[in-house]
Structure 1
Amino acid sequence: MKRYGSVIGLDAAQIAEYKKVHAAVWPDVLNQIKNSNITNYSIFLREPENLLFAYYEYVGNDHAADMARMAADPVTQKWWAVCMPMQRPLSTRTGDEWWASTEEVFHVD
């Protein structure tokens, strides 16, 4: 199992809508997350900075392939089309990132 964390900004005017759509995530999106070997997935919001922090645990054997399969899923693409306009990527992210990756510097079980 490997842990992943990432961060992105959220448009202040879209906070209520972002919370609303995530209170009722589409079942096919949830299934795709599970089928991509992702567990313990959470998104946290930090206000007033309006930063989203996502955390998940990956239990598969090929993270890149599972993420590519998720990105190719038509329902996931529709879900992202709903969410992405509300998000504000960090200017410091790498060229291929939407959510900026983070480095784990501490963990305890």
Structure 2
Amino acid sequence: MQRIGMVIKLNADKVAEYKRLHADVWPEVLDMIKQCNIRNYTIFLREPENLLFSYYEYTGDDYAADQAKMAAHPKTQEWWSVCMPCQKPLDTAKDGEWWIEMEDVFHLD
């Protein structure tokens, strides 16, 4: 199992919309997340800084292939097109980075 943590900013004027969207995530998107071997997926919000932190556990054996499968899924693409305008990359993001993966420095089971 691989633990993944990522961070991004949330536009201040989109906080309520983002919370509303995630209170009722589309079933097709949830199913695709599971099909791509992602478990224990959680998104945290830190206000007033409006930082989003996501955490999930990857249980598959080909992370790149599962991420490509998810990215190719039409309903997931539609979901991302609704959510992405709510978000903005950190100032330190590299070209093409959206959610920025974080280093796993400590874990206690």
CA distance in 2 between counterparts of 1:96 and 1:2 reads: 23
CA distance in 2, matches of 1:97, 1:61: 23
Deviation for aligned residue 1:96? 3.6
1:102 counterpart letter in structure 2: M
Q: What is the one-letter code of the residue matched to 1:61? A: D
Q: Secondary structure at the match of 1:93?
A: coil
Runs (4+) of structure 1 moved beyond 4 Å? Answer: none
Distance in 2 (CA, whole Å) between partners of 1:96 and 1:13 is 23
> What secondary structure sits across from 2:24 in the alignment?
coil
Aligned to 1:94: 94
Q: Which runs of 5+ in 1 are unaligned?
A: none
The 8 Å contact of residues 37 and 60 in structure 1, kept in 2 or not, is answered as yes
For residues 1-109 of structure 1, what are the structure 2 equivalents within 5 Å? 1-109=1-109
Cα pair 1:2 1:58 within 8 Å, conserved: yes
Separation in 2 of the partners of 1:68 and 1:29?
Answer: 14
Give identity over the alignment, percent. 63
Give the TM-score normalised by structure 1: 0.97
**8 Å contact from structure 1 (residues 45, 52) kept in 2:** yes
Amino acid at match of 1:15: V
- Measured on the aligned residues, the alpha-carbon RMSD in Å equals 0.7
Tell me, yes or no, if the aligned pair for 1:4 and 1:55 is still in contact at 8 Å.
Answer: yes
Distance 2:60 2:94 in 1: 24
The answer to whether the 8 A contact 1:71-1:77 is kept is: yes
Q: Displacement, 1:92?
A: 1.5
Which letter does structure 2 place at the counterpart of 1:46? R
Question: 1:100 is aligned with what amino acid?
Answer: I
